[in-house]
Amino acid sequence: MTKRINETSQRKKEHIELCLTDEVSFRLKTNGFDRYEFIHYAITEVDISKITFNRILFNKAINYPFLISSMTGGTENATSINQRLAVIAEELKIPIGVGSQRQALENKEFHHSYRIIRDSAPSVPVLANIGAAQLVQSNNIKDILCLIEMLQADALIIHFNPLQELMQENGDTNFAGALNKIEKLCKQSPVSVIAKEVGAGINKHAAIKLLDCGVSGIDVAGAGGTSWAGVELKRSKKDNPIFWDWGLPTSYCLKEIFQLKNKYEFILIGSGGINTADDLAKAFAFGSDLAASARIILQKLLNENEQAVIDLITGWFDNLKKIMFLTGSQNLDEFKKGKLIKKEDLF
């Protein structure tokens, strides 16, 4: 057990180091947003000064529908990273996710690296996080629920990462029974459960099965940003171009899953290659209720400082206001209604 604990912490440390580079980006595949342009609306009557992004999420007020996505925990250097990220989230009044709490299930050595998030962000939504593979392996749902209590979390993310586990040496590739476990978890959880991929995307069919199990949110985490297959291939010093670029682009996932809003009530989170103001805006135009980023936030924080992260996020939303003005969208609900066109249809 001690060997496995050390392996988990070391792996998390290596993940952080690799994500500070651009060596783990998708090589040939984009998030798909580059194939679309916004439809200019010359007779806009939008009052840009009245555009606001304030809303209630998990019974807490937020200023921007932006999630600092799940990153790290379970290793010593994660404590400082999580504390700094949480301070930013509290200042901006935005939700924040924690990295996989798998290590917290294995022992208590680094529980402080997770708890520091709630300590530093007392008033914003905090999202706990565990892998579907670990949920399958768990013999007691109460062990999973303890992860929520550890963070005083407002929601729990269950992340699906079959591709990453497949590429990871000694990865956990047994996901049999995951849907049944999720259904049981949703019935017992005191908070909302969100299903998330980690860079290969969730399609419409999978989303339907997850929503039927009772999840309250889908984070598509599509292809086009960080290749977690690439991360593991880098760690093992191997290469496999087929799987490095495996996955469904974020734009495709959002477009397909947004259609389910006609039948299901759920939170749609757009993530996977949200690295620019344009990416953010298109994620909302494709139907996202929240947008989320991870690696670019980590890079800004550790390569620059907290203010650089704050400026990045607020700058993105200032740009979003301008795009909404130019497309005749007074609010984000209007912005989701036919504001994009494929580039080839313009010519």
DSSP 280-317: HHHHHHTT-SEEEE-HHHHHHHHHT-HHHHHHHHHHHH
Provide the residue-wise pLDDT of the chain in tens; the chain has 347 residues. Answer: 455 556 777 877 888 899 999 999 999 999 999 999 999 999 999 999 999 999 999 999 999 999 999 887 767 788 999 999 999 999 999 999 999 998 888 877 778 889 999 999 999 999 999 999 999 999 899 999 999 999 999 999 999 999 999 999 889 999 999 999 999 999 999 999 999 999 999 999 999 999 999 999 999 999 999 999 999 999 999 999 899 999 999 999 999 999 999 999 999 999 999 999 999 999 999 999 999 999 999 999 999 999 999 999 999 999 999 999 999 999 999 999 999 999 999 99
The enclosing H or E element of 104 equals helix 102-106
Res 3: pLDDT: 52
DSSP string of 213-256, one letter each residue: HT-SEEE---BSSB-HHHHHHHHTT---HHHHT-S-BHHHHHHH
pLDDT of residue 73: 72
The Cβ of residue 152 has, within 10 Å, a number of other Cβ atoms equal to 14
Instruction: State both tokens at 105.
Output: 């299930």
CB 157 within 8 A of CB 219: yes
Number of C-beta neighbours around residue 318 at 10 A = 10
Q: Sort residue 191 into left (φ over 0), alpha (ψ -120 to 50) or beta.
A: beta
The residue type at 103: Q
Strand pairing partners for 217?
194, 267
Instruction: Report the pLDDT value the prediction gives residue 320, as an integer from 0 to 100.
Output: 98
Q: Structure tokens of 139? A: 């013999």
Residues 6+ apart with CB under 8 A from 18: 24, 231, 234, 235
According to the model, what pLDDT value does residue 6 have? 62
Distance CA 56, CA 252 (A): 27
- Domains of the chain as residue ranges with CATH: 2-346 (3.20.20.70)
Asked whether 216 and 155 are in contact (CB, 8 A), the reply is yes
pLDDT (0 to 100) of residue 57: 98
**Torsion, CA 236, CA 240, CA 244, CA 247, rounded to 10:** -120
Burial class (CB in 10 A: 0-12, 13-18, 19+), 239: exposed
